[in-house]
A and B are shown apart, each in its own frame.
Chain A
Amino acid sequence: MNTIQGTAAGSTRPANSVRVVIVDDHAIFRSGLKADLDSSIQVVGEAATVEQAIAVIAQQRPDVVLLDVHLPGGLGGGGREVIAGSAPLLSTTRFLALSVSDAAEDVVAVIRAGARGYVTKTISGAEITDAVFRVAGGDAVFSPRLAGFVLDAFGTAPADIADDELDRLSARELEVMRLIARGYSYKEVAKELFISIKTVETHVSAVLRKLQLSSRHELTKWAAERRLL
């Protein structure tokens, strides 16, 4: 596919194949996604509800879970509840959120629950394969839209020294987020800022950590207020 966003070159692909569980309540989407994924990705299980997902994940202990944000079952918490239910496995199993939803509170909720990234369902097979490898390698995956969310939530002014470190993005992190929001791949971000891809990944992971840990009340308020985008 010629629309790959040049990310493949920068990813750290493990030699062995990656074991994946797909959690989505639409069978058509699951089978489509399975067909789209690279052959080096082994789909070891599927689930359509919160309960099924928690059971399958506990049983299979996959490397990566592709997790729909909206799921039936459980207490109505959807993807967030699956992550919470699989908390003991979080060190070995990583979650990548998939969503058709534009609603910020949905996305931010799964990220804060512990997902390592968020991509939209319209993403191509090659891109999602790359994202899976990236998440399996311990990196964070940000779509332009998630980067936009982050910039909106943390504000676009760089951190003051007086601020709590978790509540603001550093100037460098802001630059990285801005470029990702503009549609740059990690490789292009690295080139633009004259830093290594590894450094870009470090910055993105740091932003993810802040997004997950920050108690900045604006963040939660913002997430609740924004229905759109």
Chain B
Amino acid sequence: MTTLPVRPPLARSSDRVIAGVCSGLAAHLGWPVRNVRVGMVLAAFAGGAGLVFYAWLWIMVPTADEAARRNARRPASPIAPAVSQPAQGQTLQGQPMREAPSDGGTSAGAAGPADGAAESPWFRVRGMRYGKEILLGCGLLLVAGIMIAQMLGVDVSLGTLIPAAAVLGGASIAWMQLDETRRAGLVDKTKADQAGGWGRLAAGLALVVAGVLVMVSGSGSWEQTWLALLASVAVLGGVVLVLLPWALKFWRDLETERAGRIRETERAEIAAHLHDSVLQTLALIQRRAGNEHDVVRLARAQERELRGWLFQDPGRESGQLSDRIKAVAAEVEDLLGNPVEVVTVGDAAMTEAHEALVQASREAMLNASRHGGGTVSVYLEASEGQAEIFIKDRGPGFQLGDVPADRLGIRESIIGRMKRHGGSAAILSTGDGTEVRLGLPAAAEHVEGKS
């Protein structure tokens, strides 16, 4: 395909004089805003072309907010490649719109509305977002072509041209609508702007009907057209009356089926998850039923996993201090098999010093689990001023002085590490258990940063 440089998407910026078109265009093209503005003003004197161009961009280009929303739906796709696709590459067979006078722009004009209907798979896959733009572009090309043809002396009778234009316009309005509702249905089912949608559909329909009538009746006389219009509306009404029950039933079936499909997808997802996690663990537990230690460890790990899956709040920011502490606790639990209960109050964003705190608490948890031999309680309290972690076990306890000098676990990994990062560590051990207290003031990270 085309290898155009990737530009920022064309969007109306909030830095605006009138509608933010110029600054948006400048950002898109990488030109200075001033030049674009001056150019636009100059162009406005050239037969009003600048004005028309400005108005067109104003209408067609989304504001930065809208663009952001679009991008959230489909990531990074600058407008240029999609527009520069060979939009007229696929000619469409059996198009009823071929009545339009055959100029340079004709095939484009015919292809445009059909694309709007998203009938061709090519279009639906790549260009759906720009259907409107392409459509309008083709329409304008068509008009330009006709004007040029007239200038060159080719006789294009207005009698055929206007009805054809009306039909084309009406159809494209209605089709654009179809395209959008389909998209809305895919993304989510809220159709808040359905009223407007119906209005557009009706307008499109009216245009097409009027256009066809004028074309078929072939005369511009009002009485005839009026009569024919009445007759056709009556026929259409009759047809609608007959088809309405079917349409309604069809619609309802479609809705039920869609709801069913959503439920089915959800069920399949849950089943897949349970199969991957819970069923596997249950099988493992049955095979290891003789080993109580393993069974407890498996059950704990599975509980943790399932809990995370069920109660996970997708809106919450992850990667915070409490998440790291929980992850480390889970790791220690898996490694040594003793439960590690974590209670957290408050939270803080991770910094380098916090990482040291996490590593020190990991070491403390490992010690507590290894030597305490029972449940390890971990309590994290993070406030604006500082972060504190307490790791408590109920083992036989020990004296720091009794630890051989070559064992670095406590001295280096816990106490030394905390000191180096501007924090503090205290170890309190009695016959009833041991508690490691780690503290890290919020300002400590700056100390670390300079050293």
Q: Which residues of A contact B (CB under 8 A)?
A: 2-3, 5-6, 101-103, 122, 144-145, 147-148, 151-152, 156, 178, 181-184, 188, 227-229
Contact = CB atoms under 8 A, between A and B. Distances in A.
Give the top 7 A-B pairs by smallest Cβ distance, nearest first: A183-B377, A148-B343, A182-B379, A227-B313, A151-B345, A182-B390, A183-B392
A219 to B, nearest CB: 15
Given A148-B344, A156-B345, A183-B341, A102 B311 contact: yes
Contacts of A178: 379, 381
A152 B312 CA distance: 18
Contacts of B392: 182-184
Given A6-B432, A228-B311, A228-B312, A181 B375 contact: no
Contact of B394 (A3, A102, A147, A228): A3
Given A148-B379, A228-B313, 9 more contacts: A3-B375, A3-B394, A144-B343, A145-B341, A145-B343, A147-B343, A178-B379, A181-B343, A229-B344
A183 B313 contact: no
B42 to A, nearest CB: 56
A151 B311 CA distance: 21
| B contact patch SS | mixed
Q: Which of B313, B341, B343: most chain A CB closer than 10 A? A: B343
A181 B380 CA distance: 9
Interface string B359-402: 00000000000000011010101010000001010100000000
Nearest to B383: A156
B191 interface: no
Contacts of A103: 311
Interface residues of B, number: 22
Contacts of B381: 151, 156, 178, 181
Contacts of A101: 311
Interface of B: 307, 311-313, 316, 339, 341, 343-346, 374-375, 377, 379, 381, 383, 390, 392, 394, 432, 435
Contacts of B316: 227-228
Contacts of B339: 122
A160 B389 CA distance: 26
Contacts of A148: 343-345, 379
Q: Which of B311, B346, B375, B379: most chain A CB closer than 10 A? A: B379
Contacts of B390: 182-183
Contacts of A156: 345-346, 381, 383
Q: Which of A103, A145, A148, A183: most chain B CB closer than 10 A? A: A183
A5 B339 CA distance: 14
Nearest to B373: A2
A5 B379 contact: no
Contacts of B311: 101-103, 227-228
Contacts of B313: 227-228
A3 B343 contact: no
Contacts of A2: 374
B328 to A, nearest CB: 16
Nearest to B377: A183
B379 A181 contact: yes
Contacts of A6: 394, 432
B320 to A, nearest CB: 12
B432 to A, nearest CB: 7
Contacts of A151: 345, 381
B432 A188 contact: yes
A6 B379 CA distance: 19
Contact of A144 (B307, B312, B377, B432): B377
Given A3-B394, A5-B394, A228-B316, A182 B344 contact: no
11 contacts: A3-B375, A6-B394, A145-B341, A145-B343, A148-B343, A183-B375, A183-B390, A184-B392, A188-B432, A227-B312, A227-B316
A229 B346 CA distance: 11
B307 A182 contact: no
A106 to B, nearest CB: 10
A34 B129 CA distance: 63
Nearest to A2: B374
Nearest to B376: A183
A145 B380 CA distance: 11
A181 B339 CA distance: 16
Nearest to B296: A122
